[in-house]
Amino acid sequence: MMRIDILTVVPGLLEGPFAHSILKRAIQNKLVEVVVHNIRDWSVNKHKTVDDYAYGGGAGMVMMIEPIVACIEELQSQRSYDEIIYMSPDGELFDQSLANQLSMKGNLMILCGHYKGVDERIRRHFITREISIGNYVLSGGELAAAVVSDAIIRLLPGVLNDETSALSDSFQDNLLAPPVYTRPADFRGHKVPDILLSGHEAEIDKWRHEQSLARTKERRPDLLKND
């Protein structure tokens, strides 16, 4: 069973994403274990301080090294981790290929940044991988950690009811997913393509591939550059 440990100073931000729908069922069915740790629990002073002013001045506070390292090392004493990930806007851009890679791991630790980020020594000496979910800045890494966890967990065997569902997602083969339809077949004169009602599986698969390719060329031609 995969285990994901998430380190944060705002654990409340992570309550919702894992308490509903697919992720909730995956946890209940013991297909994955997600444990959220409050970094303040490892602070040694009475005020549970986890941030301090930056050396050299400048706006904003920096997450302190001691409580984070204490948390990391305590968890490492209990199990080995395949990756210790730091969510950062200057990390490698998260995509489906990386989600696939991480879904094959056993134990993952994710550190959520906050304020102006973490002490650089943590990044240099404890983090094994830095990941960004996009070229923008969030208030903290919690939402980004939830996005990464969601993308990974849904790939685990048994999580989705239809085992082929994840394999047909957008980006799995560098193509966007084709359009999908459901009942009614005719809504105010807008009809479902006849091919989808034909029952010819091979022809439907061919149509879907053609639609995926056309949609990708139109909306995300950058995905086809390496083909």
Q: Residue 226: what pLDDT?
A: 61
Amino acid letter, 155: L
pLDDT in tens, 162-218: 655 665 565 667 899 899 999 999 999 999 999 999 999 999 999 999 999 999 999
Provide the pLDDT for residue 166.
63
Q: Which residues contact 138 (CB under 8 A, 6 or more apart)?
A: 89, 144
Q: Which CATH number fits domain 170-224: 1.20.120.450, 1.10.1270.20, 3.90.1280.10, 3.40.190.10?
A: 1.10.1270.20
Q: Which is nearest to 132 in space by CA: 120, 124, 141?
A: 141
pLDDT score of 189: 97
Distance CA 70, CA 159 (A): 33
**pLDDT for residue 46:** 87
CB 50 within 8 A of CB 112: no
Q: What is the pLDDT of residue 74?
A: 98
The CATH architecture assigned to 2-153 reads 3-Layer(aba) Sandwich (3.40)
Distance, first Cα to last Cα, the chain: 35
**21-28 vs 142-153: helix crossing angle, rounded to 10:** 70
State residue 35's pLDDT score: 98
Sketch the domain layout of the chain as residue ranges: 2-153, 170-224
Residue numbers of the chain with a pLDDT score lower than 50:
none
Q: Is 198 exposed, middle or buried (0-12, 13-18, 19+ CB in 10 A)?
A: exposed
Find the helix or strand (DSSP H, E) in which 22 lies: helix 21-28
